[in-house]
Amino acid sequence: MIRSASDDQRIVITGIGLTAPNGDNLADYRAALLAGKSGVEPYNIRYVGDTLAGVCHFNELKHQGRKDVRRGTRAGSISIYCAREAVADSGIDWEAIDRERVGVYIGLTEHGNVETENEVYEISQFNYDTKVWTHHHNPRTVANNPAGEITLNMGITGPHYTIGAACAAGNAGLIQGAQMLMLEECDFAIAGGVSESIRTFGIFAGFASQGALASNADPTKASRPFDRARNGIVVSEGGCIYTLERYSDATKRGAKIYGELVGWSMTSDATDFVLPNPTQQARCMNQALKRAGLNAEDVDIVSTHATATPSGDIQECIALRTVFGNSKRTHINNTKSFIGHAMGAAGSLELAGNLPSFQDNVCHATINVDDLDPECDLPGLVLNEPRETQGIEYILNNSFGMLGINSAVIIKRV
């Protein structure tokens, strides 16, 4: 049980760096969520043409030279930006830290599609002559690329790798970082999730072929989980990286603490490539509650995964009803309604959007619900307008993905 753990086995969040389609730092992002401001915009991509996406507008050159941006990947640039911002936010003395003891754990939905598509297009301009295939392809497409670019940029010589976990990856990165701290594999973890997926036409074309790509005349209305008129996913890019420390280390240096990871769980459906399984999703949430030593009615906010696909939302709602159906205290929201589906970054970004509620006691809403689907009518659903609460002690963050991967993390106010 985590809650009875000693202080060197308690893991806390001490820094947050993020880029979302509606904000490039936590304060702006939170303000956008409370103001109901969407980050979805018109977008055009090779072969697919005009569509919609959540696009990030952070300054890549804040922490990288132009040469490094050119040589690396978009996911690498997102990772570097978020990691640098998180470390700065943590207040750690970065010059004094032992960088051999820093670990980097970054969740990804996919990596390499963008770079491979770009090269295939490039050689198509040369009659498919592979002699013009770039020598940068392999370092750009190795699966550890985004985490590795962080270590190169920041001079970190501890462990680094990525965690491939479909759209559960943001939570998975966070969990991995916590576990590595508990195992003393590192003393300071840089962990979270990133996505460059809007740069690959394949993800748009794939969702379109699946009948799961959102469309709407008004881009800001396109991502609408739980609404009857929902028609699919808005693909987004983004990143959210946390600095994690042991509670004993964080308090020793007087760090500000955003919250403590008191529970988590990852499970598999083992039933379908694409379709979710509410029984296993519910089991995942229940296991996270059990690890944290909590009951459902102890949780103040559930941050849902719902992506605005017709069936996926209903399946998650079945799972939520199973676990939280009798809880009078639990508020339920959805951040994808603002930012779209940030894939590998989704879990960590959606959690970050909720963390300021520990201070302001407000649960941000699920926007764009004009006509609530009766099958998604959950008790505690916060619709369209943020809701004042009596205080937030625990947040449960869901993130699920293809191949039946489920994750839930629970954060406690400290």
Partner 1 sequence: MTRDEIKLEVLDILSDIAPDEDLSQLKDEQSFREQMELDSMDFLDIVMELRKRHRIQIPEDDYVNLASMDSTVTYLEPLMKDIQRV
CB within 8 Å of 114: residues ≥ 6 apart: 73, 74, 75, 196, 197, 199, 200
Q: Which is nearer to partner 1, 15 or 76 (CB)?
A: 76
Label residue 155 exposed, middle or buried (CB < 10 Å: 0-12, 13-18, 19+). exposed
Q: Are strands 362-363 and 331-333 parallel, antiparallel or unpaired?
A: unpaired
Is residue 27 at the binding interface for partner 1, with CB under 8 A as the rule?
Answer: no
Interacting residue with partner 1 among 99, 136, 321, 387 (CB under 8 A) = 136
In the bound complex, what is the minimum distance in angstroms from residue 122's beta carbon to partner 1? 8
Interacting residue with partner 1 among 6, 44, 50, 67 (CB under 8 A) = 67
Q: Are strands 102-108 and 160-164 parallel, antiparallel or unpaired?
A: parallel
Q: Which is nearer to partner 1, 131 or 328 (CB)?
A: 131
Which range of residues in 112-120, 127-135, 195-203, 394-402 is near partner 1 by CB under 8 A?
127-135
CB 402 within 8 A of CB 166: yes
Is residue 138 at the binding interface for partner 1, with CB under 8 A as the rule?
Answer: no
Q: Are strands 238-246 and 188-195 parallel, antiparallel or unpaired?
A: antiparallel
In the bound complex, what is the minimum distance in angstroms from residue 113's beta carbon to partner 1? 22
Is residue 387 at the binding interface for partner 1, with CB under 8 A as the rule?
Answer: no
Distance CA 171, CA 336 (A): 15
Interacting residue with partner 1 among 46, 126, 142, 184 (CB under 8 A) = 126
Which range of residues in 124-132, 158-166, 295-303, 312-320 is near partner 1 by CB under 8 A?
124-132
Interacting residue with partner 1 among 66, 254, 328, 391 (CB under 8 A) = 66
In the bound complex, what is the minimum distance in angstroms from residue 136's beta carbon to partner 1? 7
Give the residue ranges of DSSP H helices in 166-277: 169-182, 201-209, 247-252
Interacting residue with partner 1 among 71, 228, 321, 329 (CB under 8 A) = 71
Distance CA 342, CA 252 (A): 35
Label residue 249 exposed, middle or buried (CB < 10 Å: 0-12, 13-18, 19+). middle
Q: Which is nearer to partner 1, 135 or 328 (CB)?
A: 135
Strand ranges (DSSP E) for 269-393? 301-303, 331-333, 362-363, 387-388
Q: Which is nearer to partner 1, 120 or 132 (CB)?
A: 132
Q: Which is nearer to partner 1, 21 or 72 (CB)?
A: 72
Which range of residues in 6-14, 86-94, 133-141, 258-266 is near partner 1 by CB under 8 A?
133-141
Which range of residues in 26-34, 51-59, 132-140, 249-257 is near partner 1 by CB under 8 A?
132-140
Interacting residue with partner 1 among 42, 47, 59, 134 (CB under 8 A) = 134
Cα torsion through 8, 174, 394, 359, rounded to 10: 90
Distance CA 371, CA 15 (A): 38
Is residue 131 at the binding interface for partner 1, with CB under 8 A as the rule?
Answer: yes
Reference 156, options 144, 168, 165; nearest CA is 144
In the bound complex, what is the minimum distance in angstroms from residue 93's beta carbon to partner 1? 28
Q: Which is nearer to partner 1, 130 or 209 (CB)?
A: 130
Is residue 70 at the binding interface for partner 1, with CB under 8 A as the rule?
Answer: yes
By rule CB under 8 A, what string of x and - marks binding of each residue 293-332 to partner 1? ----------------------------------------
Q: Which two tokens stand for residue 13?
A: 């969040």
Q: Which is nearer to partner 1, 122 or 184 (CB)?
A: 122
Is residue 228 at the binding interface for partner 1, with CB under 8 A as the rule?
Answer: no
Cα torsion through 138, 144, 150, 151, rounded to 10: -90
Q: Which is nearer to partner 1, 66 or 328 (CB)?
A: 66
Is the C-alpha dihedral spanning 193, 397, 290, 300 positive or negative?
Answer: positive
Distance CA 14, CA 2 (A): 18
Is residue 132 at the binding interface for partner 1, with CB under 8 A as the rule?
Answer: yes
CB 26 within 8 A of CB 192: no
In the bound complex, what is the minimum distance in angstroms from residue 99's beta carbon to partner 1? 22
In the bound complex, what is the minimum distance in angstroms from residue 71's beta carbon to partner 1? 7
For partner 1, the binding residues (CB under 8 A) are: 65-67, 70-71, 126, 131-132, 134-136
